Homo-oligomer: A and B are copies of this chain.
Amino acid sequence: MRLHEIEFVDRLRRLAKPTGSAGSRKALRLRHGIGDDCAVLSANASTDLLITTDLFIEDVHFRRAWQSAHSVGHKVLTRGLSDIAAMGGSPRFAFLSLALPRATTQRWVDNFLDGFLALAKQHHVVLVGGDTGSSPHGFLADIIVVGEVLAGSAILRSGARAGDEIWVTGQLGGAAAELSRLRNNGKAAVKSSAKRRAGSNPYFYPQARVEIGASLRTAGVASAMMDISDGLSTDLLRLTQASDTGAIIEEAAIPRAAGATLSQALHGGDDFELLFTVRPGTTKKLSHVINNMPLTRIGTITKHRGLRLTRKGVERPLTVRGYQHF
């Protein structure tokens, strides 16, 4: 593809400017459009709507030979929930568009829906619409999640300032490490890995940090936030660009998942942990554990743009690497 996502998003933001008219008579107002984890619409005096859409594409985001339909269903919804979590909101409703190859069996679809709806139930999210079509090649899902948040309180990517501390939830690189085991060990690894179900397998059953995101918002400590779905380096670059800042990360501080290399913790995606920033004066208000999940400070927002990594006082540029989902 000649078109990179970041360019495309910039382009859309330029082209899709509100036309200005037909505004005032209407009830819904736009607070934030293209460029964050969710769009934010003002629904009434006390509530903002959060809306996010995410694609999940066979042979791009997952491999059918490796991943059960149940796990695909779980992961599709996780992508949407995680975007709501990243704004500090509560997910409420989901829409699911499915393009299904003609050879799709009823059993595969049933297992997919089981995985999807089990996670929906856990978060009290109701599936209220969608579309289905046939697909000439491979499975594709587009997940839309609608959430809500106290009016004006959604945490954006753009709120970070130089001097803010950079924090992450949980451990990083777990999904990438699991994926690497699958790649190296093939079928046997897939079988043993697939047995470890919800909550225990970071690649097949990642967990969206919905409660933690909401806690960080209500505590009033996060100045900027997003989820790490494409890897720390890629997503940190997005956050700093949205905030017109840079960042310096302490290599030794990065919390690595069991078995994860530094590279996997820095560049691996599919973890769905939260990346957030905290004003230096307000860190006393921050719990270092929420819902049994450790929160870790990994660096500092800088005025100087770009990303840097320090190790024993030696600084080097942090290169952003793309992440392959399988």
> Which residues of chain A have a CB within 8 Å of any CB of chain B?
1-3, 5, 8-9, 11-12, 15-16, 18-19, 21-22, 26-28, 30, 33-34, 38-39, 41, 43-47, 49, 51-55, 57-61, 90, 92-93, 95, 97, 99-102, 104-106, 109, 113, 117, 120-121, 124, 126-138, 140, 142, 144, 146, 148
**In the complex, which of the residues B52, B57, B144 contacts A135, with contact meaning CB atoms closer than 8 Å?**
B57
Q: Tell me, in angstroms, the Cα distance from A56 to B103 when the chains sit together.
A: 20
Q: Please indicate the chain B residues that have their CB under 8 angstroms from the CB of A105 in the complex.
A: 2
Q: How near does chain B come to A37, taking the closest CB pair, in angstroms?
A: 9
**In the complex, which of the residues B22, B38, B130, B132 contacts A129, with contact meaning CB atoms closer than 8 Å?**
B38
Q: Tell me, in angstroms, the Cα distance from A19 to B127 when the chains sit together.
A: 11
Instruction: Please state if A34 and B92 are interface contacts (CB–CB under 8 Å).
Output: no
Q: Please indicate the chain B residues that have their CB under 8 angstroms from the CB of A137 in the complex.
A: 136-138
Q: Tell me, in angstroms, the Cα distance from A97 to B130 when the chains sit together.
A: 13
**In the complex, which of the residues B51, B92, B136 contacts A138, with contact meaning CB atoms closer than 8 Å?**
B136
Q: What are 27 A-to-B residue pairs whose CB atoms are below 8 Å?
A: A1-B104, A1-B134, A2-B105, A2-B106, A5-B132, A12-B113, A15-B113, A16-B127, A19-B124, A27-B44, A27-B46, A27-B148, A28-B47, A28-B93, A28-B148, A30-B93, A33-B127, A33-B128, A34-B130, A39-B95, A41-B128, A41-B146, A51-B144, A51-B146, A55-B132, A57-B136, A140-B140
Q: Tell me, in angstroms, the Cα distance from A12 to B117 when the chains sit together.
A: 10
Q: How near does chain B come to A112, taking the closest CB pair, in angstroms?
A: 11
Instruction: Please state if B124 and A51 are interface contacts (CB–CB under 8 Å).
Output: no
Instruction: Please state if A140 and B93 are interface contacts (CB–CB under 8 Å).
Output: no
Q: Please indicate the chain B residues that have their CB under 8 angstroms from the CB of A44 in the complex.
A: 27, 43-45, 47
Q: Please indicate the chain B residues that have their CB under 8 angstroms from the CB of A142 in the complex.
A: 53, 55, 97, 131, 142
Q: Tell me, in angstroms, the Cα distance from A99 to B142 when the chains sit together.
A: 10
Q: Tell me, in angstroms, the Cα distance from A192 to B140 when the chains sit together.
A: 35
Q: How near does chain B come to A258, taking the closest CB pair, in angstroms?
A: 30
Q: Please indicate the chain B residues that have their CB under 8 angstroms from the CB of A49 in the complex.
A: 28, 43, 49
Q: Please indicate the chain B residues that have their CB under 8 angstroms from the CB of A11 in the complex.
A: 113
Q: Please indicate the chain B residues that have their CB under 8 angstroms from the CB of A144 in the complex.
A: 51, 53, 95, 144
